[in-house]
Amino acid sequence: MSDVFDRVIVMEDGAPPRVMPRDEFVRLPIHARVRYILERRVEFFKGTVRVDRAAALQSLRALTAQRAKSA
Give the pLDDT confidence of 20-71 residue by residue, as tens digits.
999 999 999 999 999 999 999 999 999 999 999 999 999 998 888 877 777 6
Q: Would you say residue 1 lies in a domain? A: no
Reported pTM: 0.86
In a domain, 42, yes or no: yes
Question: Is residue 31 in some structural domain?
Answer: yes
* Domain total of the chain: 1
Q: What is the DSSP letter of 4?
A: S
Kindly state whether residue 39 falls inside one of the protein's structural domains. yes
pLDDT of residue 2: 55
Q: How many CB atoms lie within 10 A of CB 8?
A: 26
Domain span including residue 11: 7-70
Q: Where does the pLDDT of residue 10 fall: very low under 50, low under 70, confident under 90, or very high at 90 and above? A: very high
Residue 43 lies in a domain: yes
> What gap in Å lies between CA 39 and CA 66, rounded to an integer?
25
The neighbouring-strand residues paired with 50 are 45
